[in-house]
A and B are shown apart, each in its own frame.
Chain A
Amino acid sequence: QKEVEQNSGPLSVPEGAIASLNCTYSDRGSQSFFWYRQYSGKSPELIMFIYSNGDKEDGRFTAQLNKASQYVSLLIRDSQPSDSATYLCAVFMFSGGYNKLIFGAGTRLAVHP
């Protein structure tokens, strides 16, 4: 089992719809969770971070965390073609003998007009 798992996609949604991106993680003791957006050929850009169970909203983005289910998601409302990118989930966890940020392989989102 991978430590941070994401569906690779592509997830295709029409413009204006809600895009839902999901991520599961293996370490029940993890405390910090992050979502990054990565455009093709560019470096990852931090979108959201969440530490507590529940929802955290920032503009069109909402991060949802459920520690009991070891599940974190990102909702993008009113999706725009400019949101088309790969979204990386990252979880800070103890792995391989030390604490570190573990990244999922990413979900590719395609928003079509």
Chain B
Amino acid sequence: DGGITQSPKYLFRKEGQNVTLSCEQNLNHDAMYWYRQDPGQGLRLIYYSQIVNDFQKGDIAEGYSVSREKKESFPLTVTSAQKNPTAFYLCASTPGQGSEQYFGPGTRLTVT
């Protein structure tokens, strides 16, 4: 089955710890995205990558980092510099710019 997988589904961390969220896709899409969703708000773009070994900051990149070493994988690291990391994190991919985006199941991160 083609699709996007994210792991883990739930993640709990103590404040001050870095944590890495996994995102893998087998749709052969070039572009991948990371969003953050908070209650009552729309999705906000953290980082995106349109091609392997290249990525750009989105609207709320501070406190996050990414890598894109393989077409299939786009991991997101939430660093201790992120002030309010507790949120629902969504990874998406698209076959082309301006086309529909498909989402993974999400990772719910709780930092205490």
Partner of B43, one of A32, A45, A92, A103: A103
The A/B interface has a contact count, at CB < 8 Å, of 45
Please measure, in the bound complex, the distance between the C-alpha atom of A43 and the C-alpha atom of B33, giving whole angstroms: 14
Q: Which residue of A4, A43, A44, A101 has the most chain B CB atoms within 10 A of its CB atom? A: A43
Q: Tell me what chain B mostly uses at the interface: helix, strand, loop, or mixed.
A: loop
B32-73 vs A, CB cutoff 8 Å, 1 = contact: the mask equals 010000001111010010000000101100000000000000
Question: In chain B between 65 and 94, which residues have their CB closer than 8 angstroms to a CB of chain A?
Answer: 90
B98: chain A residues within 8 A (beta carbon): 31-32, 92, 99
Size bracket, chain A contacts:
20 to 34
Contacts A46-B100, A49-B100: A105 and B45 contacting too (C-beta < 8 A)?
no
Residues of A within 8 A of B43 (CB): 44, 88, 103
Q: Indicate whether A99 sits within 8 Å of B42 (C-beta atoms), given known contacts A43-B103, A43-B104, A43-B105.
A: no
Give me 6 other A-B pairs in contact (C-beta within 8 A), A32-B99, A43-B103, A88-B43 excluded. A4-B42, A42-B106, A43-B106, A46-B102, A98-B56, A105-B41
What are 6 residue pairs bridging A and B, where the CB atoms are less than 8 Å apart in the complex? A34-B101, A44-B90, A90-B101, A92-B98, A101-B45, A105-B40
